[in-house]
Amino acid sequence: MRSKQIRGRHLVVTLAICVVLLLTLSVVALADAGEAAESQPALYGTFWALVPPILAIVLALITKEAYSALFIGVVAGALLATKGAPVPALNHVVSDGLIAAIEGNAGIFLFLVLLGIIVGLVNLSGGSAAFGRWAERNIKTRVGAQLATFALGVLIFIDDYFNCLTVGSVMLPVTDSHKISRAKLSYLIDATAAPICMIAPVSSWAAAVSGVASDMDTGISGIQLFIRAIPYNFYSLMTFVFIIGLVVMKFDYGPMRVHEMSARLNGDLGGLEGSQVEQGNARGRVIDLIFPVLVLIVSCILGMLYVGGFFGTDWWGDTGFAGDFIGAFGNTDATVALPWGSIIALIIIVIYMLCRRTVSFKQAMDCVPKGFIAMVPAMTILTLAVSLKNITNNLLGSAVFVKGVMYGAAPGLENLLPAVIFVVAVLLAFASGTSWGTFGILIPIVLGVFPADSELPIIGISACLAGAVCGDHCSPISDTTIMASAGAQVEHIKHVSTQLPYAMTVAAVSFVTYIAAGYIQNAWISLAIGTVLTIVALLVLRAGAREKDAQEA
């Protein structure tokens, strides 16, 4: 009874905060309405453009619930854009927010549903359980299970969505058997999704960066610029150093420490209710897991190449990339290619399992609605997050505000500017929940503020990409963060709150390393400095964790 009363009071306080904040925003917007009669809101391109996502993030962290927080952020943005007029604001929420988000992400939604069906089939066939039994015999320690998760995440570098859900479904039985919390699993998934995609030349992320950079007059191709920026992408590279060090040193800190202790001592993994892996068919073998994953990887790669025009004509009927592997990846569209590949993979997997007699045809068809239902929470959050991004960017001009801040900071800070760019990219990606949108905004600005005859443009591009990944990694409204929660089958806000201290530690190391890189302008020396700083930070944190353990003993 007492817990219900506490929850009730908490809800009342939260609603009161929301009402006050929304009224405040509306008053500001109405005040501005008297000063400007243009169709464009008076707050366009100002700091107020970042207020709705900041509001959503704060509410999500306070309430530990993402749906209402995101929706309130969407409504707040619409009210600001319409100067407090409720009917036009509702129109923006529905048309420019929710409907536009669903239309723009229809391909990703289809991919998620297909992947959910495949995961359900693999579990039902007994493949996941068989892999878990194999792992219990061959992966003897918690360290080994975490390093295996990390290694698999690094190997699946094609796309972050694909990475999150595939690594989660494969490694879930392994980490569960070694009493690794779902919060820790979700961190390992998230930390090897966007970071590895951002330093892999053959990935959907490389294609996106190349597409943005190719429009700039740099004298080199977009993919060449991307490859040259890889050694300076300190956040991605130091994240890998951090994970290996953290796992090998066998300690945790912050909220993650609580969840890991609960998993080890009490067996409480902290997963979603009913999220245990199904045992499935007792005849299942490890090959029933490996074969579907390999088929999915190969099909998705072929899908990306086909849509990009590798086989002569791309999805839109244009030519020019026949036999050009890198060019085809730069020209592809992951929202088309991933569903394309996953449909083919699903057909092959169903035929394979029917031939193996691990599932019947009716059981396979029963996995279709189950796969859809399993992905509904992720799709809902993704819809709301993209709605918030659309309203913030398109109606309130967050990109215009950030561009002004960047140009204003440039004079006299040439060598320090990579570190400044990193911080700006972190904040923008954190507030907007999109790394692609962040580097799409910042890359043209970065290439315009540095002298072309130095190493600084490459360092600046790397800082932009690293900051975009970092902010995306931390943000509760990021689609990759949402996918990592879904892959680990853990409560979304729990994943965000436990991984935030880890991401911020690596971000602090990266910031210092970018300061050094701006003056040294040598990738390998800078990398050595960043590696040493990461290890020192881990040693200091481990000493603090051990001291805390001694005090509690």
How far is residue 483's CA from residue 478's CA, in Å, rounded to a whole number?
A: 9
Contact 429, 467 (CB under 8 A): yes
Distance CA 227, CA 462 (A): 10
d(CA 46, CA 411): 21
Q: Which amino acid is at 314?
A: D
pLDDT of residue 508: 95
The closest alpha carbon to 82, from 142, 112, 135, 40, belongs to: 40
Tokens coding 89:
């604001």
- 10-residue mean pLDDT series, the chain (553 residues): 46 51 49 45 75 77 71 87 84 87 79 81 80 77 90 77 76 85 92 85 63 56 74 93 94 90 84 58 80 85 81 67 69 76 91 90 89 77 76 76 64 76 86 71 69 77 90 84 85 89 95 92 92 95 84 68
pLDDT of residue 378: 67
What secondary structure letter does DSSP report for 395? I
Asked if 407 and 415 count as a contact pair (C-beta separation under 8 A), the reply is no
**pLDDT value for 189:** 92
Residue of 258, 279, 276 whose CA lies nearest to 184: 258
What pTM did the predictor assign? 0.68
| CB of 203 closer than 8 Å to CB of 159 | yes
Ramachandran angles phi, psi of 99, nearest 5°: -65, -45
Distance (Å, rounded) from C-alpha 541 to C-alpha 153?
25
Q: Which two tokens stand for residue 12?
A: 């009342």
Q: What is the pLDDT of residue 507?
A: 95
Instruction: Identify which of 516, 506, 513 has the alpha carbon closest to the alpha carbon of residue 537.
Output: 506
In angstroms, the CA 518 to CA 506 distance is: 18
Residue with token string 């990409």: 465
Identify the pLDDT of residue 444: 66
Say which residue the tokens 């995306």 belong to.
Answer: 472
For the purposes of burial, counting CB atoms within 10 Å of the CB of 137, is it exposed (0-12), middle (13-18) or buried (19 or more)?
exposed
Find where tokens 């709150």 sit.
497
Output the pLDDT for position 31: 46
Nearest to 429 by CA among 469, 386, 481: 469
Q: Which two tokens stand for residue 197?
A: 């995609």
Contact (Cβ atoms closer than 8 angstroms) between residue 397 and residue 150: no
d(CA 464, CA 455): 15
What single string gives the DSSP state of each residue in 117-167?
A: HHHHHHHHHTHHHHHHHHHHHH--SHHHHHHHHHHHHHH--S-HHHHHHHH
Query: Which residues pair with residue 490 across a beta bridge?
Result: 271
